[in-house]
């Protein structure tokens, strides 16, 4: 577990260095995700310990957004200028882009029958 | 420093207080979410944020003081983003077979998110700075703020809009998709990740590992796409 947590941190570190050296417009962790993904493809298998280390971080991904999310209060004054225009733009564009992306993907993509029914349960 | 006041200011400065507050708020939010039969409208991120904000207002704690403690939780966002490679690897067969569909859907969804937001904001009379800050709101926060900076918007306004977009997409995503008769966890994950980045991906992981894999992929690809395309498109329109 410690070995694989270290590997995950090392992928992020490599991503941060990569981004800094090449001046890419991407965050280090996103490049780190690509690095870990390529490493998994090359290795050709996923060790249960790495899966456990990943689950430790991803099982409560929502929690990790709370400290930054509370920062909305720091931006309240800015959000109030143009408040109605911004609110309308956020709501309509978010719903529209979810609908369009999902619609195209479900029509153009291959059927994923096994996974399709899981959401209905909740 | 004398007595109780000194002890309290010491505790406030200690990360332990705000880490505990954050975990306790999340624990309550998770309880409410599960208790509601996992209703996405009771989004755990939203409820946690509301509870922490209430605590900060009641105790008169500035955000900066809170974040100084809570940043240890915030820090884990980086490694968690890296770990999204794991569900992506597990579902790589499906991702590979879906590649053309992913490309088309992602480009369409990404363009829709930015262009419809700017169009509606413009029609309702938002200032140019607000419009720039609004354009990248579906992209993960560090990239979105970088784009806003380059185009001359207000990065901290973008930060707020990105969070609100994430929560909105997480709350309404499955409802919107049900109304538009979209089925399948791949389409669900891709849609939520494209429109509402990491907070949406946290929601997608609650649906299934497949949805989480496609959402994490969409978040990464949309960040790349928007960072390259948006500044070019903006210069064409602003220059024309």
State whether B89 and B176 are in the same domain: yes
State whether B157 and B223 are in the same domain: yes
Interface-testing mutation among B80, B115, B128, B134, with chain A (most A C-beta atoms within 10 A): B80
Q: Which two tokens stand for residue B195?
A: 């429109």
State whether B96 and B68 are in the same domain: no
State whether B47 and B140 are in the same domain: no
Alpha helices per DSSP H over chain B: 3-13, 15-35, 44-59, 63-75, 77-83, 85-90, 92-97, 99-123, 128-134, 141-151, 155-179, 185-207, 209-239
CB neighbours of residue B75 within 10 Å? 12
Q: How far apart are CA B175 and CA B206, in angstroms?
A: 15
Q: How far apart are CA A51 and CA A46, in angstroms?
A: 7
CB within 8 Å of B162: residues ≥ 6 apart: B136, B137, B138, B139, B140, B141, B144, B145, B197
Contact list in B for residue A75 (CB cut-off 8 A) is: 156-157, 159-160
State whether B139 and B50 are in the same domain: no
What pLDDT shows up at residue A25? 81
Contact state of A101 with B49 under an 8 Å Cβ cutoff: no
Question: B180 or A118: whose pLDDT is higher?
Answer: B180
Contact list in B for residue A105 (CB cut-off 8 A) is: 98, 101-102, 105, 182, 184, 186-187, 190-191
Q: What is the mean pLDDT of residues B136-153?
A: 92
- Shortest alpha-carbon distance between residue B2 and chain A (Å): 31
Mean pLDDT of chain B, nearest integer = 93
Each residue's pLDDT tens digit, B110-144: 999 999 999 999 999 999 999 999 999 999 999 99
State whether B47 and B132 are in the same domain: no
Nearest residue, CB atoms, A66 vs list B52, B85, B124: B52
Name the strand (E) or helix (H) holding A67.
helix A66-70
Nearest residue, CB atoms, B176 vs list A11, A85, A95: A95
Contact list in B for residue A95 (CB cut-off 8 A) is: 172, 176
What pLDDT shows up at residue A112? 62
Phi/psi of residue B208, each to 5°? Answer: -170, 165
What pLDDT shows up at residue B186? 96
Contact state of A105 with B191 under an 8 Å Cβ cutoff: yes
Contact list in A for residue B53 (CB cut-off 8 A) is: 70, 72-73
The ranges assigned to domains in chain A are 1-64, 66-122
Single pTM value for the model: 0.91
State whether B110 and B143 are in the same domain: yes
Each residue's pLDDT tens digit, B55-88: 999 999 999 999 999 999 999 999 999 999 999 9
Nearest residue, CB atoms, A85 vs list B125, B201, B207: B125
Looking at chain B, the whole-number percentage of residues with pLDDT higher than 90 is: 87
Domain range for B20: 3-75
Nearest residue, CB atoms, B45 vs list A58, A66, A86: A66
Of B106, B165, B105, the closest CA to residue B135 belongs to B165
Q: What is the mean pLDDT of residues B137-160?
A: 92
What pLDDT shows up at residue A14? 97
Return per-residue pLDDT of chain A as tens, 122 residues.
Answer: 899 999 999 999 999 999 999 988 888 999 999 999 999 999 999 999 999 999 999 999 999 999 999 998 888 788 888 899 999 999 999 999 999 999 999 999 887 654 444 343 33
State whether B154 and B213 are in the same domain: yes
Q: In a 10 Å sphere around its CB, with 0-12 CB exposed, 13-18 middle and 19+ buried, how is residue A99 labelled?
A: buried
Q: How many domains does chain B have?
A: 2
- Shortest alpha-carbon distance between residue A21 and chain B (Å): 17
Residue position matching structure tokens 């298998």 = A45
Q: How many CB pairs under 8 A join A and B?
A: 365
State whether B235 and B134 are in the same domain: yes
Interface-testing mutation among A64, A78, A96, A99, with chain B (most B C-beta atoms within 10 A): A64
Q: Which residue of A has its CA nearest to B107?
A: A101
- Shortest alpha-carbon distance between residue A43 and chain B (Å): 11
Nearest residue, CB atoms, A90 vs list B168, B220, B224: B168
Of B87, B113, B199, the closest CA to residue A51 belongs to B87
Q: How far apart are CA B171 and CA B162, in angstroms?
A: 14
Contact state of A65 with B202 under an 8 Å Cβ cutoff: yes
User: ipTM score of the complex?
Assistant: 0.92
State whether B17 and B112 are in the same domain: no
State whether B191 and B111 are in the same domain: yes
Nearest residue, CB atoms, A66 vs list B25, B82, B118: B25
């Amino acid at each position: 577990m410690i070995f694989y947590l270290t590997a995950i941190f090392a992928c992020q570190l490599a991503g941060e260095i990569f981004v800094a050296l090449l001046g890419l417009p991407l965050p280090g962790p996103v490049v780190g995700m690509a690095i870990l993904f390529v490493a998994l493809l090359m290795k050709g298998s996923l060790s249960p310990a790495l899966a456990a280390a990943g689950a430790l971080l991803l099982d409560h991904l929502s929690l990790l957004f709370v400290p930054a999310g509370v920062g909305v209060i720091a931006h309240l004054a800015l959000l109030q200028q143009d408040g109605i225009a911004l609110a309308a733009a956020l709501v309509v564009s978010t719903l529209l882009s979810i609908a369009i992306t999902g619609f195209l993907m479900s029509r153009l993509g291959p059927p994923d029958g096994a996974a399709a029914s899981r959401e209905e349960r909740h | 420093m004398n007595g109780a006041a000194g002890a309290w200011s010491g505790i406030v400065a200690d990360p332990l207080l705000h880490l505990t507050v954050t975990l306790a708020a999340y624990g309550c939010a998770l309880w409410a979410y599960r208790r509601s039969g996992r209703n996405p409208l009771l989004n755990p991120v939203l409820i946690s944020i509301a509870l922490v904000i209430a605590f900060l207002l009641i105790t008169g704690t500035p955000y900066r003081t809170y974040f100084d403690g809570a940043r240890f939780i915030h820090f884990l966002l980086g490694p968690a983003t890296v770990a999204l490679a794991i569900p992506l690897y597990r579902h790589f067969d499906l991702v590979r077979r879906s590649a053309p569909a992913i490309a088309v859907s992602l480009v369409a969804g990404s363009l829709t998110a930015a262009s419809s937001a700017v169009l509606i904001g413009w029609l309702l009379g938002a200032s140019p700075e607000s419009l720039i800050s609004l354009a990248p709101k579906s992209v993960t926060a560090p990239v979105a703020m970088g784009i806003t900076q380059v185009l001359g918007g207000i990065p901290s306004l973008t930060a707020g809009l990105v969070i609100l977009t994430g929560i909105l997409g997480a709350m309404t995503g499955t409802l919107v998709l049900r109304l538009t008769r979209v089925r399948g966890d791949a389409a669900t994950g891709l849609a939520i990740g494209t429109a509402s980045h990491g907070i949406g991906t946290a929601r997608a992981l609650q649906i299934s590992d497949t949805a989480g894999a496609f959402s994490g992929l969409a978040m990464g690809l949309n960040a790349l796409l928007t960072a390259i395309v948006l500044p070019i498109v903006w210069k064409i329109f602003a220059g024309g």
